[in-house]
Amino acid sequence: MEAQDILPESNDRNVFCEAILGLQKFSTHAIESGNPKWNTSMQFQIYDLNKDVLSVCLFDRKVYSPNVFLGKTELKIIQIYREQVKENQENHNPITRVFRMSNNSTTKIMLKMSISIYK
pLDDT of the residue at 79? 94
Give the pLDDT confidence score for residue 37 in this predicted structure: 95
Domains of the chain, each with CATH number or no CATH: 2-113 (2.60.40.150)
d(CA 50, CA 48): 5
Q: In the prediction, which pLDDT does 11 show?
A: 63
Q: What is the mean pLDDT of each run of 10 residues along the chain (119 residues)?
A: 78 89 96 92 94 95 91 94 83 87 84 86
Query: Looking at residue 10, what is its pLDDT?
Result: 61
How would you write the chain as a 3-class SS string?
CEEECCCCCCCCCCEEEEEEECCEEEECCCECCCCCECCCCCCCCCCCCCCCEEEEEEEECCCCCCCEEEEEEEEEHHHHHHHHHHHHCCCCCCEEEEEECCCCCCCEEEEEECCCCCC
